[in-house]
Structure 1
Amino acid sequence: MRFLMTTRPSENARNDEEMFAEMGRFVEETTAAGILLATGGLEPGGVHIDAKGGEITFTDGPFTEAKEAVAGFALVEVSSREEAIEIARRFYRIIGEGEGVIQQVF
């Protein structure tokens, strides 16, 4: 099963050398185990696409408050939703604070 995990920025998240070292080990471990398939940060703006009645328009962002924008993602492959939740739990224990969403990829 594949899950897309997204996270929003938090002013209170850890941002120190120890956190980066822990995150590096976590990413290395989950990648080597075949769990972490892709990860990355996302630009705060982006391009909004609107397709209606045969018209397609594109508008440069940002579109939401910075605290509501998705800041990063991870694509994981695990055997269950519970395992995806445990991977997310480990991630948030490393960064300290934040919020996100886990969605199964079909």
Structure 2
Amino acid sequence: MQFFVYFTMIEGKRMNPPTPEGMAKLGKFMEKSFESDTIVSTGKLPQKVTQIELSKGEISISDGPFVEGKELIPGFTVIRTDTKEEAIEWARELRECMGDGVIKLAQLSGTSQDDMKM
């Protein structure tokens, strides 16, 4: 099972970076997660994106930003676990490293390269 783990900006709230202790804990946690192959990918989504639209047979391409600040996903991780409970535990531990805030977890559906190897 794969899960999209992310957080969004909260309108009117400034995000505080993790404490130095939290950063050290986060570094060890992420290293453990990469070594165990729990993390599939991680990164951030920019506010500026390219939009490709097909309308009445015509393609138009335009650059954003199209995402409002409150919808911005500044950081995400795709993880692989055997159960939703394991994914929740992983996200809980990540949130504890980062400090106060909200993390959201969404199970991905579809086919991955891993599925094709079976």
Give TM-score scaled by structure 2 length.
0.74
1:18 paired with 2:21, answer yes
Equivalent residue for 1:7? 7
SS in 2 for 1:34: coil
The gaps in structure 1 that reach 5 residues or longer are none
Alignment partner of 2:106 out of 88, 99, 102 = 102
- Which deviates further from its counterpart, 45-54 or 5-14? 5-14
Q: Higher strand share goes to which structure? A: 1
Which residue of structure 2 aligns with residue 72 of structure 1?
A: 75
The one-letter amino acid paired with 1:91 is L
Letter in structure 1 aligned against 2:26: M
Q: Taking structure 1 as the reference length, what is the TM-score of the superposition?
A: 0.81
Tell me, what secondary structure is at the counterpart of 2:53?
strand
- Give the secondary-structure state (helix, strand or coil) at the position aligned to 1:45: coil
1:29 aligns with 2:46: no
Which amino acid in 1 is paired with 2:27? G
Question: Please, which moves more after superposition, 77-86 or 54-63?
Answer: 54-63
CA RMSD in angstroms comes to 2.0
Unaligned runs of 5+ in 2: 111-118
Counterpart CA distance in 1 for 2:42 and 2:36 is: 15
Using the aligned pairs only, state the percent identity: 29
Q: Which has the larger radius of gyration?
A: 2
Secondary structure of the structure 1 residue equivalent to 2:33 = helix
| CA deviation profile, 1:23-50 (whole Å, cap 9, x unmatched) | 2111101111111121112222111222
Q: Please state how far the C-alpha of 1:99 moved relative to its aligned partner.
A: 4.1
Does the 8 Å CA contact 2:53/2:59 hold for their aligned counterparts? Answer: yes
Matches within 5 A, 1:82-97: 82-95=85-98, 96-97=100-101
